[in-house]
Amino acid sequence: MTTLAPPVALAGTSGAVGLVGLDFAFPTRTGASHPVLDGIDLEIPGGGIVALIGPNGCGKSTLLRVIAGLLAPVAGDARLDGAPIDGPDPRIGLVFQEPRLLPWRSAAANITYPLELAGWPPARCAERLAALTGLVGLDPGVAASRPAELSGGTRQRVALARALALEPEVLLLDEPFSALDALTRERFDLELLRLWERSAKTIVMVTHSIPEAILVADRVVVMSPRPGRIVADVAVDLPRPRTIADLDQATVSRTAREIRAHLGDPEAAIEPEPELDPTASASRAPGRSSAEIAS
């Protein structure tokens, strides 16, 4: 089985993200501060995949921006391989909810934009572009097209290629496929997993879809309404490589029910399945430590 071991074997080598006692607040007009994240503690090993899930406005996207170095925490630390993140870092790639492409640039020029900013010579950019289009499965025929001429899925492929351009160790995705239809989205999720299998990147994905979280992640981290706290850290017990058929397994519905309970959906907590009993009691009391629930 060792030959089939996923890149988790590399865990801990690089790309480990650590959040320690992290608070974040937005200042309000009156000068008071509006807390958004409250005491976030989270360890993500290098090469791990974590999905962040929670109600709207719980600060998932804010948390992602703190890890990306775009927002500075009010207290606590976000760390990459043990060193505090104090600004945008080339080792961290970010995919936004919308493709966020420069409309006046071709798809190819959008992908190489980070390389250009980093001062790569054109020849090296072209080389990397070829590798990236292959990596994300972008049709080379659309390289010269403007974003307005591309479909939503293709645009998000371009955005993914752009985020991977500088070969980051950590890939942050903010509801990256939420604008796509359900089938396309599943295909993208699986392609993301194939990409991960080849590149061993650490992935943190914000999502509001429980099935997507389960399909993709090793662990699903559930956040409370604002100010966002971590209410559960649910391990997904599905072997890799995963396929769409894995979503039919009993484990999946059990995990989904557990996540739903932590999200505060009363229906999920009413009828716990027998084998879920030990955790179900914890589910009814959100706010317990994640270790208790995940064990």
Partner 1 sequence: MNRSAWLSVGAVFVVFLLAWKTIVLATGLQPFILPPPETVAIRFVGAWADGTIAPHLLTTLVEVALGFTVGAGLALVAGYALARSAVVERLLSPYLVAAQATPILALAPLFALWFGSGLLGKVVICALIVFFPVAVATMVGIRSVDARLLELGRSLRATRRQILTTLEIPAALPNILGGMRVGVTLAVVGAIVGEWAGADRGLGVLINLARGSLFDTPLMFAALLTIAIVGIALYLVVVAIERRLVGVR
Total residues contacting partner 1 by CB under 8 A comes to 20
- The verdict on 29 binding partner 1 (CB under 8 A) reads no
Answer whether 78's CB lies under 8 Å from 233's CB: no
Q: Which of residues 142-201 bind partner 1 (CB under 8 A)?
A: 146, 148
Strand order in the sheet with 17-27: 33-44, 17-27, 75-80, 83-84
Beta-carbon contacts of 16 under 8 Å, excluding residues fewer than 6 positions away, are 43, 44, 45, 46, 80, 81, 82, 202
* Burial of residue 143 (number of CB atoms within 10 Å: 0-12, 13-18, 19+): middle
- Which residue of 6, 35, 79, 100 would you call a contact of partner 1, by CB under 8 A? 100
Q: How far is the CB of 80 from partner 1 (least distance, A)?
A: 14
Q: How far is the CB of 36 from partner 1 (least distance, A)?
A: 17
Which member of 7, 35, 55, 69 binds partner 1 (CB under 8 A)? 69
Written as six digits, the tokens of 268 are: 């999920």
Q: Does 116 bind partner 1 (CB under 8 A)?
A: yes
Residue closer to partner 1 by CB (options 70, 190) is 70
| Tokens describing residue 178 | 């939420």
Residue 100, CB half-sphere, CA atoms under 13 Å: how many?
15
Q: Is 83 in the site for partner 1 (CB under 8 A)?
A: no
Q: Which of 41, 98, 191, 246 is the binder for partner 1 (CB under 8 A)?
A: 98
Residues that bind partner 1 (CB under 8 A): 68-70, 87-88, 90, 94, 96, 98, 100, 102-104, 113-114, 116-118, 146, 148
